[in-house]
Amino acid sequence: MHDDEDNPALGHHLILDIWGKVNNTPFFNMDRAAIIFESAAKEAGATVITANWHHFGEGMGYTGVVVLAESHISVHTWPEKGFAAVDVFMCGNADPTLTMKTLLDFFEAISYKSAVLTRGLK
């Protein structure tokens, strides 16, 4: 990611709203998500410090938060809507957009909205 050298961003934050099929497996499958998300973080050049995954119960979605040396990744799923809200916030040289293809593939995305915010610009 390139920024003005006199006023560099401290981090880049990918906001990713993913729509897939209602009640499709990836919106329930937290254990698989944990593997995919932590792997995607590493592929983007980030270092995983720890992670918290919480499932809301049978027939419900889950929340995952991966704490990185370079900030964090989060995901929240709504199986009944076929929706996942993903954030990938990375500082330094790690590039959050490098996780996009892996995450869209995992959720079998039909459509998505994405934006990259620059954080810490004065």
The footprint of a second copy on this chain (CB under 8 A) covers a number of residues equal to 31
Residue 81 binds to a second copy (criterion: CB under 8 A): yes
Q: Closest CB to a second copy among 7 and 25?
A: 7
Q: Which of 54, 76, 111, 114 is catalytic?
A: 76
- Measure the CA dihedral 119/66/76/117, to 10°: 10
- Choose, by CB under 8 A, the member of 65, 98, 102, 116 that binds a second copy: 65
Q: Please tell me the distance from the alpha carbon of residue 43 to that of residue 99, in angstroms, as a whole number.
A: 7
Helix (H) or strand (E) holding 114: strand 111-119
> Which one of residues 44, 91, 94, 100 is an interface residue with a second copy (CB under 8 A)?
91
The helix/strand/coil state of 32 is helix
CB of 98 to a second copy, least distance (A): 19
Instruction: Report the amino acid identity of residue 67.
Output: V
